[in-house]
Chains A and B, each alone.
Chain A
Amino acid sequence: MTERITVTGSGAVYPASALCAGVALWWALTELGDIPPFLLPAPDAVVARLAGNPELYLVNALYTLEKVVYGGAIGIGAGIALAAFVAYVPWFRRAVYPYLVTVRVLPKLAIAPLLLIYLGTGMTTAIVFVALITFFPLVLNTAAGLDRTPTAHHYLLRSVDAGPIERILYVDVPYAIPDIFAGLKQSVTLAVVGAVVAEWVVADNGLGFLILMGSENVRPDVMLAALVVLLLVGLALYGIVVLVQRRVHERLGLEVLD
């Protein structure tokens, strides 16, 4: 199976048309629908907002990105490390795995106010929260991936007295790569969600904070402008993961399944 969305040549015509139609509809609603601009500003008003003060949005995007990058790095690193323990330490797996699966049901967003009490307001809380939210998809996907090697491969390596390290590095990890990327894709999306929620609860900067301020001052144009930037940040991060995945999968000769 190839990429579901192939944005090349004529393939881009349909989504591009849909985007134009959407913006046109939005514009028509504001222009002809008699909706006051303090409820729904016209697209050009949002663009004007962005163009009028690009620095504000860029600086806050960087603040949000900072939380995503630090929190994401910690969450992803810890997730992969814990997955290795789950996959290779039987007693640890038995003790911990059921809880990892159970906790998945818990909406991690609900933990944010609790972190506020323990860690106070500030960057640390935001980073810990992003780390927490990115951690779970990585653990579960990576652990499942490391289990994917067919048993006969293990027999084959044992038959030449190859050790566990060789087996993990040369066989288990490559078999887990598609699952690790599936986890990364979920994590990177959740990281942006986590950063915005953290900014609502504890921070005084970032795009989430900007949206909150826009709401308090009834400025939907500011909120929409911040949302557009947030969308671009999210897309860029997701795009990076997809690009890296494509390169790695090409090297491994695997198909990109998404």
Chain B
Amino acid sequence: MIDLENVDVAFDDFTAVANVDLGIDDGEFVTVVGPSGCGKTTLLRAIGGLQEPTAGRVTIDDRAPSVAQEVGDIGFVFQQHTLLPWKSALENVVFLRKMADKPPDREGAHALLETMGLDGFEDARPAALSGGMKQRVAIARAIHLGADVLLMDEPFGELDEITRDELGVEIRSLWRRERKTIVFVTHSVPEAVFLGDRCVVMRDQPGRIEATFDIDLPGPRDTESLGSQAFQEQVAAVRQTLHESYD
């Protein structure tokens, strides 16, 4: 359970995040959507312990995020893949777990890469992989870490739309399999609606929560649900809230 109570993050004279209250249950998939510069990345960093709140409190299972960091319970995926260019895909996946002082599990990493469609690319260096594959390796790295909480900061931001859709479907099925708690930051409304069980809409200056939507889409989410009416309606509702906050 992730709990944010009255969280403020201010830099100098500028408030990036103001008065955020948010509770996220174990195994929940929450998306955070908002315009660029609305503080959603700062919020994610505060959850992950990379940014100390200037006021309020963040806890993960009633402990400070730094404790969760120590036990390797937080898996970050950034917009940049942050793979080490001199390591193979497999070595990159294994590396983070090693840095977290967890026992090695090369077979597990191997199997994970396989399920993520990277069979045969275990020994390839990042330079030989496409943008989508690199991000797949980065996601595999976060899952292999064995963290219960995955924090994703626009991980598909630099990918083309078709790859984004594909990876979105994969992330959803991965989440169904692994039942991790996922907080996923994006500025794409359709992406936020497609992925999340709950979608948090933020507005800027200062960054704060404008509204929260429970997303209910019938059936398993796949590329077909992107065309469904329920999906379109939800997207329209979220979009309207986003635009209303600027009127």
A binding-site residues for B, Cβ under 8 Å: 150, 152-153, 155-162, 166, 170-171, 174, 251-254
Contact = CB atoms under 8 A, between A and B. Distances in A.
A172 to B, nearest CB: 11
Contacts of B80: 150, 152
A152 to B, nearest CB: 5
Interface in B53-110: 66, 69-70, 72, 74-76, 78-80, 82, 84-86, 95-96, 99-100
List 4 A-B pairs, minimum CB-CB distance, nearest first.
A252-B86, A160-B100, A162-B99, A161-B69
B1 interface: no
A183 B240 CA distance: 57
Most buried by A among B78, B82, B151: B82
Contacts, number: 58
A157 B85 contact: no
Given A170-B95, A253-B125, A159 B82 contact: no
A181 to B, nearest CB: 14
A25 B151 CA distance: 70
A156 B100 contact: no
Given A152-B82, A254-B85, A160 B96 contact: yes
A153 B80 CA distance: 9
Main secondary structure of the interface of A (DSSP, over half): helix
A159 B84 contact: no
B50 interface: yes
A59 B42 CA distance: 66
A254 B84 CA distance: 11
Contacts of A171: 84
Nearest to B86: A252
B16 interface: no
Given A161-B70, A253-B127, A156 B96 contact: yes
18 contacts: A152-B79, A152-B80, A156-B82, A159-B48, A159-B76, A160-B72, A160-B96, A160-B99, A160-B145, A161-B69, A162-B99, A162-B100, A170-B84, A170-B95, A174-B84, A174-B86, A253-B125, A253-B127
Nearest to B65: A159
A161 B86 contact: no
Contacts of A166: 99
A110 to B, nearest CB: 41
How many chain B residues sit at the interface, stated as a range, is 20 to 34
A160 B82 CA distance: 14
B50 A155 contact: yes
Interface string B104-144: 00000000000000000000010100000000000000000
B207 interface: no
B71 to A, nearest CB: 8
B50 A160 contact: no
B49 interface: yes
Contacts of A152: 78-80, 82
A155 B76 contact: yes
B141 to A, nearest CB: 9
B82 A158 contact: no
A67 B188 CA distance: 64
A254 B100 contact: no
A159 B86 contact: no
A161 B68 CA distance: 9
Contact of B66 (A153, A161, A174, A251): A161
A150 B76 contact: no
Contacts of A160: 69, 72, 74, 96, 99-100, 145
Given A155-B45, A155-B50, A252-B86, 13 more contacts: A150-B82, A152-B78, A152-B80, A155-B78, A157-B99, A158-B69, A159-B76, A160-B74, A160-B96, A162-B100, A174-B84, A253-B125, A254-B85
A162 to B, nearest CB: 4
Contacts of B95: 170
Nearest to A157: B99
Contacts of B145: 160
A155 B78 CA distance: 9
Contacts of A157: 99
A162 B127 CA distance: 25
B72 to A, nearest CB: 5
A109 B70 CA distance: 52
Nearest to A167: B99
Most buried by B among A150, A160, A162, A251: A160
Given A159-B50, A253-B127, A170 B99 contact: yes
